[in-house]
Amino acid sequence: MVSRVMTVASTDSGGGAGIMADLKTFTAMKVFGTAVIVSLTAQNSVSVKSIYEVPVYFINDQFDAIMEDIGTDAAKTGMLYSEEIISAVTEKFLQYDVHNIVVDPVMVSKTNARLLKEDAVFTMVHKLMKIATLITPNIPESEVISSMKINNVEDARIAAKKISGITGSAVLVKGGHSSGNLSTDILYDGKEYSEFSDIRIDTRNTHGTGDTLSASIASYLAAGKNLYDSISLARKYIEGAIKNSFPMGNGYGSLSHFWAIK
């Protein structure tokens, strides 16, 4: 049977991030993707023009439609935007006992648009993240959640353990926002640390990297891979997607989601 993966996130009219990136990734991973759309964005490679929240009743209807018929082997979340949406999504995950949940705590876009309301951070940390298999914050997001400054890899290790302690979930602090020739991601699974390092790729075509990575990890989890292998394989996929990326629009260009498809 083909593995099933659900994305619970928002659209990107520019096609590079959000649910659009998730579904492209699911196709590249050869899993069957379903989608619960929680908000719509009018955005492109340069800016986010506006955000429209989907009513909670319709979010619930989408969840029910998928789970009552198709089901899912894993799920990932992206931009959830508000406290009401986060609470509704958490309740639905619990109602259907969804496993292999990857939470990407999308807070701010690459174009500096606010994608998570400030009053929703507490709800995300203390509700949704507590039922996650893995949380994948970048460095700025990790600083918000851990209430500490991250200046180096050792700080990232401390922050990962601190976030795991708060949520009870495994944490992958992504190093893409750090400086230096190496980009290092730190995994703390609740007991042990793992480090994943690669040479930093110098490109502006990185729109949707966080969405794509979390979607890929969820895909490998759905296929039965363990957490470490899922992250390792997903990082290889995202490395290829960045290496084969291309300009699209006047701002941050697009990843090549289909580079690995033979």
CATH number, domain containing residue 193:
3.40.1190.20
Sign of CA dihedral 254, 259, 260, 261: positive
Sign of CA dihedral 97, 100, 2, 37: positive
Range of the domain at 138: 4-243
Residue 171 placed within a domain? yes
pLDDT at 112: 73
Residue 113 placed within a domain? yes
Residue 253 placed within a domain? no
Residue 12 placed within a domain? yes
Residue 119 placed within a domain? yes
Residue 177 placed within a domain? yes
pLDDT string in tens for the chain (262-residue length): 899 999 999 999 999 999 999 999 999 999 999 999 999 999 999 999 999 999 999 999 999 999 999 999 999 999 999 999 999 999 999 999 999 999 999 988 777 778 888 889 999 999 999 999 999 999 999 999 999 999 999 999 999 999 999 999 999 999 876 667 788 999 999 999 999 998 888 899 999 999 999 999 999 999 999 999 999 999 999 999 999 999 999 999 999 999 988 7
pLDDT at 176: 74
Q: Which two tokens stand for residue 21?
A: 């990136």
What are the distances in angstroms from CA 122 to CA 83, 101, 106, 110, 238?
8, 19, 14, 22, 30
Residue 137 placed within a domain? yes
CA–CA gap between residue 240 and residue 238 (Å, rounded): 5
CA–CA gap between residue 246 and residue 242 (Å, rounded): 8
pLDDT at 183: 87
What are the distances in angstroms from CA 114 to CA 64, 80, 141, 160?
29, 11, 12, 23
pLDDT at 89: 98
Give the orientation angle of helix 209-222 with respect to helix 18-28, to 10 degrees. Answer: 40
Structural domains in the chain (count): 1
Contact 156, 184 (CB under 8 A): yes
Measured in degrees and rounded to the nearest 5, phi and psi for residue 23 equal -70, -35
Looking only at the bridges linking them, the beta strands covering 74-77 and 101-103 are parallel
